[in-house]
Structure 1
Amino acid sequence: MVKEGMKDVVALKSDISIINGEEGKLEYRGYSIHDLVENSSYEETAFLLLRGYLPTKEELDKFSKDLARKRRIPPEIIGLLSSLPDITHPMVVLRTAISYCGSLHEKLHVINPEENLKKSKEILAMIPTIIAYTYRMREGEQLVHPREDLGHAANFIYMMTGREPKPLEERALDTDLMLHAEHTLNASTYSSRIAASTKSDMYAGIVSATGTLMGPLHGGASQAVIEMLREVKEGDETPREYIRRKLDEGELIPGFGHRVYKTTDPRAKELKKLARELDQIGGNDWCTLAEKVEEAVKAEKDLCTNVDFYAATVYANLGVPDDYFIPIFAMGRVAGWTAHLMDQYAENKLIRPRQEYDGEKSREYVPIEERDGK
């Protein structure tokens, strides 16, 4: 039986995460995402995904310090970032830089548990630096180099802005990264596992994932959400009128609906709370406006929000430019990607689905001088 888009096809087994779409639940390694948001950090969540268990304090301190030491990127990568055209989308810059990082790795093709974990930490640590450097260069600002005394989220905000973040800003980004860290076999994660199943290198798997994430039906949706909210904000229509018009024109409303969840995405609930807090301290109305759009879509189509919808309002409140929304998604999801890559390498089987052919058969070859042009 052909299932378009592989809907409901079970492709493999994994103990990394589980989604209960009917109840709107998400767990990483058996831990509720809500418990992790309340009690954990991105570094601890990344450790959990990569190692399979919650670390002791000593283990977490060592892991966090190891990540911090790996934040600096090779000078060749800085040269690459400065040489790419300004019209290049930051996500394209990121995947190009990751590929270049791989080309510089002396053990690129060595695949074993120890080396895989080492590469995972290197990639996880360098991605924020690549994104922040790209932003500073394009703004014509002096590069702000990473600090080892700041946490993962705080250091990224520091490199982007040149200042240490406020506590709520750090917590908001840290939470966002945790919520984006892993989500079973989404398109980008599956594409990374396909690469790994061929025994290609880990950097190739991440390049495959970043390329897939950029699509507007995946990670690109958050950028589409803020563009929509800005249209509503600057237009003359009410949110209900805007949504009704877009639906009448046959357009999809970004940030709503999900292939797996039949109710509100649990990640959206957590991000909505943060967006409200950020609105209040920043004197903004992004979350207020988003809630009106959410009500309009609910009334017109009875669709629930997904993670992209309120992630957009969090990023807008943090002052993140629209075209950096997807790279920040990648910055969080890389923990899940690398966990899946290691999982694939550990018990590998080449991923090679079949297709059902529906074209013509047994056609007679016609010499070129006898063809009629059809």
Structure 2
Amino acid sequence: MTFDDMKEKITPANPSREASPNRGSSVPQLEAIPKPCKPLRQWQKEANIDRNAQIKLTKLVHMRYQHPNLDEITTFLRDFGMTVAKKADGKRWYAGYGEDAYVYYAQEGEKKFLGGTFEVESYEELSKAAKVPGASAIEEVTDAPGGGYMVTLHDPEGFPINLLHGQTKKQAGPFPEVLTTNYEHDKPRVARFQRFKPGPAAVHKLGHYGLCVRDFQAQMQWYTRTFNIVPTDFLYVDADDEGNQDTKKDVAIFAHIDLGPHYTDHHTIFLSSNPTSHVHHCSFEVHDFDTQNLGHEWLAQKGYKSVWGVGRHILGSQLFDYWWDINGNMIEHYADGDLVNEETPVGWGEAGDESLAVWGPEVPGWFLD
């Protein structure tokens, strides 16, 4: 861009008008949710979903991957902010500082996605899952921290999803300090100075993961019928490029676990239409903005490859930071995400790069490929 081009770009059409300053607001969900929107229970009724038939999930607890070299992935995951919970021959378990016994499991072998793992409400729900066509038998988890019982299912495109019950939780902590912040007229931090120690961004818990799928409708219906997984937001495209409401085609979903009146993360799983089926990323919660930026600098100094971040998402509101692990799997730190429940309407927003972030580096053109 030449100087004249830059000057033309920044010269206001009306020089007498000042630019409005930026601002941030924590607004009520009904104001923030994309329009159109509709009540969750109405969406389920129109979709003929039998809530009693669903396998009841309670939370997402850990990811499972296969890696060629466990020592190398262990080094990366430590730099990413996890600690080694247990080692066994050809297996590793990694923990955060939350109550879950571990948040990531790795076994030795050719690079492979082994699925996300959800806790279920009861052993009866695990038995229900074992009756789904193609499901594994209920197996006792004898070697992993916390133990428990597990069933593995596969969705219509072959992605595994693991269900766990009976795992013993660990003692959570230590928790980072919630920093006191000074503002223009509210300055509670008196005679205390902000100081930070460089290092990895300690992981608290697993928040969500995303899948790129060929048949979006079939995948979306399988997840929302088989489990108490419900849409928070849909993304759509205009099928006829005319903007007619009846031609809008859903191409992605941010979905959360339906816990009724109890609040939960804005999304626990993400599905996006794609020419190929593959895992997109998994995402882990960290403490706050400073933690996230210090973690970003730590990973950069270690020579790992950044994907996108740090920035702030629109849907979900999370502060995000995406990286490649050493084997080409995308993994994310996030902080400050939205919470939703059954009173949160289902929203529809237009798909596109502009729907992904309110600020941050420019999104890579291939990000959702």
Higher helix share: 1
Q: Same fold (TM over 0.5)?
A: no
Scaled by the length of structure 1, the TM-score of the pair is 0.22
Scaled by the length of structure 2, the TM-score of the pair is 0.22
Instruction: State the structure with bigger RCO (CA 8 A, min sep 6), 1 or 2.
Output: 1
Higher strand share: 2
